[in-house]
Chains A and B, each alone.
Chain A
Amino acid sequence: MNILLAAILKVIGVLMFVGLNAYILIWGERKVSGHIQRRIGPIRVGGPSGIMQSAADILKLMSKEDFVPSGADWWLWVLAPVVSVAPAVLVYLVLPIGRTLVLRNLNVGLVFFSSVSSFTLLGIFMAGWGSNNKYSLLGAMRAGAQLFSYEIPLILSTIGVVMLAGSLTLQRIVAAQTHYGWFIFPQIVGFIVFFVASVAELNRTPFDLAEAESELVAGYFTEYSGMRWAMFAIAEYSNLFTLSALGVTLFLGGWHGPLLPGWVWFVLKSYFLVFVGIWIRWTLPRVRIDQLMDLGWKFLFPVSVLNLLGTGLYLMVR
Chain B
Amino acid sequence: MIAFVIVGLAAIAAAIGVVTARNVVHSVLWLITHLASLAVLYLTLQATFLGLVQVLLYAGAVMVLFLFVLGLLSTRGEREEPGTGQPKGQTALAVTGAMIMAALLMVGAAAGEAVRSGVLPAGFGGASAFGVALFGRYLLPFESTALALLIAVVGVVALAHSVPEEPSASDGFDVSHARGADSAVLGGEAK
Contact = CB atoms under 8 A, between A and B. Distances in A.
Contact of B56 (A118, A144, A296): A118
Nearest to B32: A122
Contacts of B60: 115, 118-119, 121, 151
B98 interface: no
Q: How large is the interface on A (under 10, 10 to 19, 20 to 34, 35 or more residues)?
A: 35 or more
Contacts of A126: 29
A243 to B, nearest CB: 16
A106 B48 contact: yes
Contacts of A107: 48, 126-127
B76 to A, nearest CB: 13
A44 B44 CA distance: 53
B156 interface: no
**Looking at chain B's contact residues, is the secondary structure mostly helix, strand, loop, or mixed?**
helix
A114 B56 contact: yes
B23 to A, nearest CB: 8
Contacts of A145: 68, 178-179, 181-182
B178 A108 contact: no
Contacts of A141: 68, 71, 181-182, 185
A121 B64 contact: yes
Contact of A137 (B32, B71, B126): B71
B75 A137 contact: yes
Interface string A101-118: 000001110011011101
A129 interface: yes
A144 B127 contact: no
Given A106-B48, A122-B32, A115 B179 contact: no
A297 interface: yes
Interface of A: 73, 76, 106-108, 111-112, 114-116, 118-119, 121-122, 125-126, 129, 134, 137-138, 140-142, 144-149, 151, 168, 289-290, 293, 296-297
25 contacts: A108-B49, A108-B52, A111-B127, A112-B52, A115-B52, A118-B60, A118-B61, A119-B60, A122-B32, A125-B67, A125-B71, A129-B67, A137-B71, A137-B75, A138-B186, A138-B189, A140-B71, A141-B181, A147-B64, A148-B64, A148-B65, A148-B178, A149-B178, A151-B61, A293-B178
Interface of B: 23, 25-26, 29, 32, 48-49, 52-53, 55-56, 59-61, 63-65, 67-68, 71, 75, 126-127, 175-176, 178-179, 181-183, 185-186, 189
